Structure 1
Amino acid sequence: MQKVKVLFVCMGNICRSPTAEGVFTKLVHERDLAHHFSIDSAGTHAYHVGDAPDRRAEKAAGERGVDISHLRARKFVLGDFEDFEYILAMDGDNYAILSSACPTPHRHKINYFLDYAPHLGTREVPDPYYGGAYGFERVLDMVEAASEGFLNELLETGKIKSNKQ
């Protein structure tokens, strides 16, 4: 069985994208669908390569039962366009960076993550790095909504099949 390969992308890969990786991973495990997926995250910049997620992101995620402490930041590489089926950008800056570097045959793979939560009325997951704890909570709320929407779309379109049929 071919796995659906999903990559979440933000700037430094220590706040938003590891949070999305952790939340989506938890969601697919809860629904007994993890075997359908290969999930990762990366940053468009190499500021934090090898670093653990921001401790505020870890704390906020942990309070919701999401463990991201084992994740380590990595930089997005050109091979990711080839390797991943879904490349989900956290904001417009990262979407633009990915789009400008992307070979034409892979452009369809890049999307805004929040397009899977249209009821939020934005495409931008705000960077909580320079803010307080509330910013990390807000990011979690947004990421949880988009994760549900993304998984539901994959189920509705038949991209993956639920084990409960």
Structure 2
Amino acid sequence: MAQFTVLFVCMGNICRSPTAHGVMRHKVAARGWGGRVQVDSAGTHNYHPGEPPDARSLAHANRRGYDFADLRARQMVEEDFARADLIRVMDWDNLALVQAMCPPYAQNKVRRLTEFCQHHEAPVVPDPYYGGDAGFESVLDLVEDACDGVLLHLEQLGKPLL
């Protein structure tokens, strides 16, 4: 069976993209797609290489039943464009950065994560790093909704069944 890879990208890979990574990994496992859908995350900047996700992201996610303390920050590399089937970016600035680094053959893989929200209307997943608890909760709300939308998109493509 073929494996399908979804890559989530934010700036430093310690708040938003690992949250999306952890939520999607949880949702993929709950559907029994673990062997068919791989989830990854990276940052456009190398600010926190090898560091775990932000403790506030972990705490808020844990309250909702998500555990992604095992993830470590890394910077996006050129090979990610070949490895990933879908690249979902958190905001406009990082979208522009990813599109600028992206080879022509992979441009169709890159989109904003919030394009897949089914219940929330938000152009981006805002960076909660300098805010309070409400920001981390908002990130989770948007990420959960958008991950459900990405999973629906995969079902429509027939990807997990390959």
* Paired letter, 1:26: H
Task: Give the Cα–Cα distance (whole angstroms) in 2 for the partners of residues 70 and 92 of structure 1.
Answer: 28
Give the Cα separation in 1 of the matches to 2:105 and 2:161.
27
Q: Give 2:34's aligned amino acid.
A: A
CA distance in structure 1 between the partners assigned to 2:58 and 2:119 by the alignment: 26
Counterpart for residue 49 of structure 1: 49
Deviates more, 1:135-144 or 1:30-39: 30-39
Q: Distance in 1 between matches of 2:31 and 2:133?
A: 29
3-state SS, counterpart of residue 160 of structure 1: helix
User: What do the CA deviations read for 1:18-68 (whole angstroms, capped 9, x no partner)?
Assistant: 000000000011111111111110000000011110000000011111001
SS at match of 1:52: coil
Deviates more, 1:146-155 or 1:112-121: 112-121
Shift in Å, 1:117: 0.8
2:94 aligned with 1:94: yes
In structure 2, the residue matched to 1:20 is 20
What does residue 123 of structure 1 align with? Answer: 123
* Alignment root-mean-square deviation, CA: 1.2
User: Amino acid of the residue matched to residue 5 of structure 2?
Assistant: K
Structure 1 letter corresponding to 2:120: L
Q: Deviations over 1:85-107 (max 9, x none)?
A: 11110000010000011111110
Q: TM-score, normalised by structure 1?
A: 0.95
> 1:118: how far off?
5.0
Are positions 1:9 and 2:9 aligned together? yes
CA distance in 2, matches of 1:97, 1:118: 26
Query: What TM-score, normalized to structure 2?
Result: 0.96
Distance 2:98 2:64 in 1: 30
The number of residues matched between the two structures is 162
Structure 2: gaps of 5 or more residues: none
Question: Which whole-Å deviations, capped at 9, do the CAs of 1:68-96 have from their partners, x for residues lacking one?
Answer: 11110000011111111111100000100
* Cα separation, 2, equivalents of 1:158 and 1:105: 22
CA distance in 1, matches of 2:131, 2:138: 11
Q: Residues 7-156 of structure 1: matches in 2 within 5 Å?
A: 7-117=7-117, 119-156=119-156
- In the alignment, the residues of structure 2 paired with residue 126 and residue 149 of structure 1 have an alpha-carbon distance, to the nearest angstrom, of 18
Quick one: which amino acid aligns to residue 112 of structure 2?
Answer: Y
% identical equivalent positions = 46
Amino acid at match of 1:109: K
Structure 1 segments (4+ residues) deviating >6 Å: none
1:135-155 CA-to-partner distances (Å, cap 9, x unmatched) read: 001000000000101101111
